[in-house]
Amino acid sequence: MQALPRILAAMGLALAPTSGAWADQGHAGHDHTAEVAYGRPGDPAKGGRVIQVVMKETDRGMAFAPERIEVAKGEQVQFVLRNGGELDHELVIGTVEANRRHAEEMASHSDMAHEDPNAKRLGPKTSGVLRWQFTQAGTFEYACLIPGHREAGMVGTVVVR
């Protein structure tokens, strides 16, 4: 995996350790149970449908597998995450706008490192679970907001019907 940092450097991408997001909520009250435009934190007691997502580097960049999921409005999902790569990765659920804004914030505050209910960060070869209830119909996304990763391909689509 010596090649990847060089490739990223050539692309102008940083490998700075950073983390997940609740940025679009501002910090008013910092209420981690409140409903937002893309749903609300999952109830740990409820379980929910298991969707396995792998995070990895690829020959052409980085990716989530799968890159697209469909859920029913109101459904709670348990994302069972596996980082199969050589770098830290995270999965941050949000609206496209919120993730884009947060990615920009992270680019300038590379020390951001907090675990939020809509985000899970994993070190290489580790696993984790993120529960989220999608309460609104629409198209949302999950992305890795570590600087450069979303641009390298780490973005997936959630269609809520």
Binding residues (CB under 5 A) for Cu ion: these are 89, 144, 146, 149, 154
Our CB check for Cu ion shows the closer of 40 and 57 to be 57
| Phi, psi for 6 (deg, rounded to 5) | -65, -40
How far apart are the C-alpha atoms of 115 and 20, rounded to whole Å?
A: 6
Our CB check for Cu ion shows the closer of 36 and 87 to be 87
In the complex, the smallest distance separating the C-beta of residue 68 from Cu ion, rounded to whole angstroms, is: 18
In the complex, the smallest distance separating the C-beta of residue 149 from Cu ion, rounded to whole angstroms, is: 3
| Stretch (H or E) spanning 128 | strand 127-133
The two three-digit tokens of residue 81, written as one number: 């995450």
In the complex, the smallest distance separating the C-beta of residue 146 from Cu ion, rounded to whole angstroms, is: 5
**Environment class of residue 79 by beta-carbon count within 10 Å: exposed (0-12), middle (13-18) or buried (19+)?**
buried
Our CB check for Cu ion shows the closer of 36 and 152 to be 152
